[in-house]
Structure formats: C-alpha cells, structure tokens
Amino acid sequence: MIFATTRFFHFAHGAVYAWGAYLAFLFVKVLGLPLPVGAALAVVLCAGLGAAFELVLYRPLRARGASPLVLLLASLGAYVVLQNLISLFFGDQTQTLRSGVVRVGLPVLGARVTPIQLVIIGAAVILTAAVWLLLKRTRLGLEMRAVANDRALALVSGVRSSRVILATFVLGSALAGLAGILVALDVDMTPTMGMNALMMGVVAVIVGGTGSVPGAALGALLLAFAQHFGVWHISSKWQDAIAFVVLLLFLLFRPEGFLGRKVRKAEV
Amino acid sequence: MLRVQNLSKSFDGTVALDGFSAEVREREVVGLVGPNGAGKTTLFNVVTGFLKPDAGEARYRGEAVTGEPPYRVARRGVARTFQELRLIYRMTVLENVLLAFPAQAGESATGAFVRWLEVSRRQRRNREEALALLAYVGLAEKAGELADELSFGQQKLLSLACCLATGGELLLLDEPVAGVAPGMVDKILGLITDLRGRGKTVVFIEHNFAAVTEVCDRVIFMDEGRKVAEGTPADIRDNPDVIESYLT
Amino acid sequence: MGYLLHILILIGIYVILAESLNLIAGYAGLLSIAHAAFYGVGAYVAALLALNYAVPPWLTVPAAMVAAAAVGALVAWPALRVRDDYFVVATFAFQVIVFSVMNNWVALTSGPLGLPGIPRPDFFGLTVKSHGGFLLLTWLFAAGVVFVCWRLARAPFGRVLRALREDEVFAAALGKNVASFKVRVFAIGAAMAAVGGCLYAYYITFIDPTSFTVTESIFIISIVIVGGAGSLRGAALGAAVLVVLPEALRFVGLPSSVAANLRQIFYGLMLILFMVFRPQGLIGEFSFRRR
C-alpha cells in the first residue's frame, strides 16, 4: 500500500513492525496491562510512528525533489536507527509475548495449528478483506488508488495527495505493528525481526505486483508457499535465500510481478 | 543508404508506426515532418535500436539495424540527437565531445593502465579533434564550461558536435532548431547544409516548415504512423493530403 | 598504542571498501547494498584456502579477487533491467543470499561458528604478525586500491562511468556498451572489496558471517555518502570519520554492547541527515538526484 501510493521502498516499515511487537511487550509484560489494551495501544503508537516518518522525513525530502532512491536511503538509515534503539532499550535477547504453557495445538488437515496461529490466519483474511473494501468502496480508498495510479492527475482532480499519503502511512504502519504483535504472540521476538519481515514484505510486494494490493496478498501467499515447499525438500535454514532467489528471478524477468505495472528501465 | 520497410510499432493499443517505408540516399538532406504523434520520433527510435518494431525492418548500408542494441547501431555509423536534448550536463563541453569519440582504448579498464603511451597519444589526438569540432560549430570558447551553463541553442550545437564526433555518416536529428533563437536557427541550418558537402547524410524532424524548405532536398510527410507524401518541399506544401492531415 | 594502530588498520580496510564502492555507486551511479557480500566472499575464500590448503597469501588474494569479481558480475545483471531503486532491492537480495550461503553451508564455511585460527600471512618468508606490520600491509593495499580507482576515474573509462550515471540513454546513443561497463565496474569494485576481506581475515584471524551482513553493507554505503559520492578523497574521508567518531563513545565508559548500538545509531542518523541536507556528502560530486 505504502509503495503503491508513494512509489518508493519504505524500508523502515520493517522497524515499525518490530516496534509494534516491542511496544506491546512494554505495555503487557513490563507495565502489566491486559493484552488487548496493550496491543491496541501499541498499534496506535505504530500508526503514529508511521505518520512521523511521513511528516518528519519523507515529506520534506519529497518537497526538495528527492528521487525514490534518496528516500530509500533515508529509510535505510531510519531502519538502522530504530532497530538499534530496540536493542538499546530492550536488549538483544529473544523475548516473547506468549503467556502460559506452549500447547500442542489442534489438529487441522493433518497439521497442528495453535490457537494463536488461527488468530493470525483469521486476522490476515479479515484485514486483507477490510483493506480491499477500503480501497474499493470508501472515498479514501478511491483517493489512494488515484494517487497510486497517477499522482499528477490525482492532484489536478482535487485529491489532496499529501493527506492521502499520510493516511496510507498511518494505516500501513498500524497493520505492520499489529503483524509484529501477532508474530510475537505466536513465536518470539528479537530486535532483528524487522529485517526478516521486511525482506519477506519486499519480495511479496514485487512478486505479487507492485502497486496492487491483491497482488501483494497473492505474492505473500506464493512466497510462503514456495518457502515451505522448498523446506520440504531442502533444509529450513535456506528459507531466506529461496525467497530472494525468487525475488531476483522476478526482477530479472518480470519486474512488474503478477498483477503490477511496468517498472523496467527508463526508455527513450 | 538507409532503407526502411514496412515498419510497424504499437504501444498499449496505440499505433505509432503503421507499415512505414522510406528510403534515404547518400548525401541527402531529408526533412521528416508531420503533426504531433505522427510517429516521427518513434521511427528514429526504431532505426537507432532503442525500440524493437513489431514488424518490418530497417537496413543501413545493406545491414539490418532493427533488433540491434542502440550502441551497436551507433557504432555502425548512425548518430542521433534527442527531442528532449540529452547531454551530460555535469560535464564540460569538451568532455561531452570527447565522450563521443568511438573506439577509445582508454575506455577499457586495462587501457587505463597498460599501453599507456598509445592511450595517451590517442587521447591527445582526440582532444585536438574535439577542439576542432567545437570550433566548427562555433563553441570553441566554451570548451571548458559545463554543458549546463550553455544557452539552449548552444546546447543544441553541442549535441550536433557530439554526433559528428561519433564519426557517424548518417545523422538523425530530432528537432534541431525547435525552441531556438532565430540567429541560432540560421547557424544550425547552415551547419546542416555544410554537412552534406562533407559527405554526411542528414534526416531531421522539424515542425518549422520554413527551416525545412530552406535546407532539405526532399521532405517526407508522416501522419498516424504512415507516409502520406514525399517530394520536394514545394510539392509537400501544396499536397492536398498534407493539408488535410493538418486540418483533421 | 595498540588500540590506535588497530583503529588505523580498520580505517585502512574501510578506505578500501569505500573506494571500491565509490567506483560503483559514486562514479557509475549504481547504488548497491551488496558490498559486504563481496567483502565477505574475499574473506572467506582467502581464509578457506589458507586454512584448508595452506595456500600462501600471494595466491589467496588473487583467488579471492577473482571469486568476488564473478559474484560482482552477477550482481550487475539486474542493473541492466530495472530502475535504480529496484536495483537496490536486487542488491539487497544478493547480499542476503550470499550471507545465507556463508551462514548455512556449514560443510564449507562452518556456518555461524565461523573460521578461527586463520594463519598469519607469509610473504615469501616475511610473516606479518604485529600491529605495526599489519598497519603497513593494510595501508600498502589501500594505497594500491586508491591508485587503481584514481587511474580508472581519470581515464576515458571513468568518463563513461560518469556518463552512465547521468544519462545512460545518451551514452548508448554515442556507441557505449552500457551493459558491459556496468558488469565491468561491478567486477572491479567487488575484486577490490575482496582485498579488504582478505586483510580482515588475516588480521583478525577469525571470521564469521556476522561481519558481512546487510547492516555492514549499509555502513559502507553510509561511508560513501557521508564522505561524498564520486570523490576519491570523499570516500577516504568518510571512512576516517565514520570509523573514528563512534570510537569516541568508548571513552565515555559505556558497556561495549551499548556502544555497538550507539555506533549504528550514529551512522544511521548520519545517513538520514546527509540524505536530507547534503546528499552529495562532505566533498562529493554526485547527489543521487536524476535531472
């Protein structure tokens, strides 16, 4: 979503994801707030963090005519800063948001699924549907798609693109924070979790099709599928490498992904 | 010298070239005119290898150039300028021209270290030639200035000098006098005329019909990707199809 | 005293890394966050050859350079196809893949355990062991790398690179084989980074994958940006600044893990600040803006 409207790779997004998990950790484990409250608070703060990025960093840069490359670099710097802030405040050791005993999980279709994993799946489905509805049915969604499609045209048609972009950041960052929390509930969290998630996110966006939300979902599904299929035959530690080989293949041969728009080299 | 047959090219449903055929003979100065969107720049792009046609072919001196990468077409002897005036603005005028010389031993990575004597001798020769070219187009005093600091007309002269530096015998100029002050227009047109005497063949795209009339032996009129008419400037001006194209 | 020499040696290594990346990213404008991968390939090839086959350094270094050059040429491939910010993502992918290989191909590289006990380099009878010796060796190589970059930059080769970064369509129209230049500059830059890797391996005598991660690549590109892309002196200056300044934190008496985090925060902030306020770096020529 963020990439579609702003047309650059907001690498710091990975840090927002990690911060979601750690903020929730702060509220729930350290301050003792109940899980739903702590989680909600963390998500809100993540949304705020996303807004801060847009307002403090990207908007001024765009105003100076910065290219997507410059924005990406600034975003990389931001990622490094944020990841290290987590290490500073919370330490490098693995933490978890889980409470209680690790249960075996219910058998579903021959595999074992824990309750929290069901929640994750459910949340993913609901949220994806919600985002899709937002984009298709609401005014904001329409404006987002307009900006993603052709910013100049959208501006001329009266869409306040800066407001739309801010909204995209807020929404996208909230989702990222939530994702971080859910993952921390399912497995563990470390300061570098953001990097991993970010990598997967980038691959999913590019494979699924840049600029297309259903594309991103499709990409994520395909990626997960490819990774786990690969794990069947090859050892699981190669997951990252597999993901990136897939990414490279797409960049080389089909940079617009499955459902996206052309991004090949500039031509005459 | 250049033969183009049946070129067709479409983008996302818009037809840019529609079975276009034409011929250019050695030492001709040909004007390519037509309304906006007629496919003139697309034609240049196909001939110089920046675009692959959907159908048809182009041959330069008998050898096919369609489907070749742009750098190879350039090395065969087809030099071009761009409608949007491409130059290396952050380099000096002299450096831009030096860049254009072909087959520079110093451009290979090893050339920077071995065969030093040969490379520096070649560089010195190129430098002299570059300065001579700049003098020819009238930019000699500007050699040390950044390309960015030149006036628009001077930048067009520079891009012409770069074309000449490549050694190409066929020059495809995309709007060489568009947007340029009248005095400079005459200068550039004068150069184009002079080039014929030096063995070059020139095809240029222009909207300025007076310029075309002044300099061209032959004019090709294009519309909607097709050749509508061809002949001397006077023929074209009076051609009823041409007039109709401009009115519709 | 030993500490001072250590810092100077590190600066020397980073000068090598920064100058080689500067050739790729500063002169040719091909921004890459895969440089730590080339660095790592150099280190691992040298270490493995020295440890397993007792190959002497005057052979391991060229071997490492060739291996890294091959990887570099591969990394250049996406540059021929996609836009520059997508290309950065591609280099990111390569970096992670190489790291994965280093970390997971345990049979070859011992994975996360790393390779300890790398023998000291022996140049035809002269073994380099002391800090002073390594200082000399490192700076000798650094001078060599800077010399190579300088010659390339001043030659017509360098001019074509700069033309590529400004307008590659124009360069192609002038008959320059853009693809060939991109592959070549990557191969050369990677080979030079490998030299840095060899030095690192011989100096520390222990390498593991954590020295060659994405964050290391980001650090190296930060050096190039802060010092100034497209400037030889800039790359050296950036290396000195970004290696030395965070070391000042040590003297404040912080525990080393905190200092490590603060060091990264420092260069992350530098990257942001320079991108916002001065993308051409301290004394650079290129500010990553397309016209």
Domain assignment present for B2:
yes
The model's confidence at residue A263, banded by pLDDT at 50, 70 and 90, is very low
Domain assignment present for B84:
no
Do C156 and B104 count as a contact with CB atoms less than 8 A apart? Answer: yes
Do A84 and C265 count as a contact with CB atoms less than 8 A apart? Answer: yes
Q: HSE, CB side, 13 Å, CA atoms: give it for residue A46.
A: 31
Same domain, B63 and B101: no
Report yes or no: A101 at the B interface, CB cutoff 8 Å.
no
What percent of chain C clears pLDDT 70, i.e. is strictly above it? 98
Q: pTM value?
A: 0.86
Residue B3 has pLDDT above 60, yes or no: yes
Do B111 and C184 count as a contact with CB atoms less than 8 A apart? Answer: no
A166-213 tens-digit pLDDT: 777 787 788 777 777 777 777 777 777 777 777 777 777 777 665 555
- pLDDT, residue C286, reads 81
Chains touching C, CB cut-off 8 Å, 3+ pairs: A, B
- pLDDT, residue A68, reads 77
Q: Quote the domain boundaries for residue B136.
A: 89-166
Same domain, B184 and B211: yes
Strand duo C126-127 + C122-123: pairing? antiparallel
Interfacial C residues in 18-57 facing A (CB < 8 Å): 31, 33
A221-252 tens-digit pLDDT: 566 655 555 555 555 566 667 777 777 777 77
Q: Which residues of A touch B50 (CB under 8 A)?
A: 267-268
- Rounded CA-CA distance B170/B49 in Å is 14
B27-46 tens-digit pLDDT: 889 888 888 878 888 888 88
Do A247 and C89 count as a contact with CB atoms less than 8 A apart? Answer: yes
Q: State the CATH number of the domain containing residue B73.
A: 3.40.50.300
Q: Which of A5-14, A197-206, B217-226, C253-262 has the lowest mean pLDDT?
A: A5-14
What percent of chain C clears pLDDT 90, i.e. is strictly above it? 45
Q: Which residues of B touch C152 (CB under 8 A)?
A: 109, 112
- pLDDT, residue C62, reads 94
Same domain, B65 and B172: yes
Residue A111 has pLDDT above 60, yes or no: no
The model's confidence at residue C37, banded by pLDDT at 50, 70 and 90, is very high
Residue at which a domain ends, from B166, B186, B217? B166
CB neighbourhood size of C52 (10 A): 10
Q: Which residues of A touch C264 (CB under 8 A)?
A: 80-81, 83-84
A253, closest residue in chain C (CA to CA): C81
C81-128 tens-digit pLDDT: 777 778 888 898 899 899 988 988 888 888 888 888 888 887 777 777
Complex-level ipTM beyond the 0.85 threshold: yes
Domain assignment present for B83:
no
The model's confidence at residue C171, banded by pLDDT at 50, 70 and 90, is very high
The DSSP symbol for A184 reads H
Do B88 and C175 count as a contact with CB atoms less than 8 A apart? Answer: no
- pLDDT, residue A268, reads 43
C274, closest residue in chain A (CA to CA): A74
E strands, chain B, where?
2-11, 14-24, 29-33, 55-60, 63-64, 78-80, 170-174, 201-205, 218-223, 226-231
- pLDDT, residue A85, reads 87
Same domain, B39 and B161: no
Residues of B with CB under 8 A from a CB of C: 48, 50, 69-72, 74-75, 79-80, 82, 86-91, 95, 98-100, 102, 104, 106-109, 111-113, 119, 123, 162, 166
Closest CA to C245 of C14, C89, C53, C2: C14
A130-135, long-range: CB within 8 Å, 24+ apart, which pairs? A131/A1, A131/A171, A131/A175, A131/A213, A132/A213, A132/A214, A134/A171, A135/A213
Do B107 and C167 count as a contact with CB atoms less than 8 A apart? Answer: no
Interfacial A residues in 227-256 facing B (CB < 8 Å): none
Residue A261 has pLDDT above 60, yes or no: no
Mean pLDDT, rounded, for A18-24: 75
B163-213 tens-digit pLDDT: 999 988 899 999 988 888 888 888 888 898 888 888 889 998 988 788 888
Arithmetic mean of pLDDT over chain B: 86
Q: Which residues of B touch C157 (CB under 8 A)?
A: 106-109, 111-112
Q: Which residues of C touch A12 (CB under 8 A)?
A: none
Decide: A180 and A38 in contact? Cβ < 8 Å. no
Domain assignment present for B19:
yes
Q: How far is A10 from chain C (nearest CA, A)?
A: 11
Interior angle at CA A189, CA A186 and CA A191, nearest 5: 160
* Number of domains comprising chain B: 2
- Please name the member of C169, C175, C178 whose beta carbon is closest to the beta carbon of B86: C169
Strand duo B201-205 + B170-174: pairing? parallel
Q: How far is B135 from chain C (nearest CA, A)?
A: 20
Same domain, B183 and B234: yes
Domain assignment present for B82:
no
Q: Which residues of B touch C170 (CB under 8 A)?
A: 82, 86-88
Which residues, at least 6 apart from B121, have a Cβ–Cβ distance to it below 8 Å?
Answer: none
Higher-scoring residue by pLDDT: C160, C291:
C160
- pLDDT, residue A98, reads 62
B129-154 tens-digit pLDDT: 999 999 998 888 888 889 989 999 89
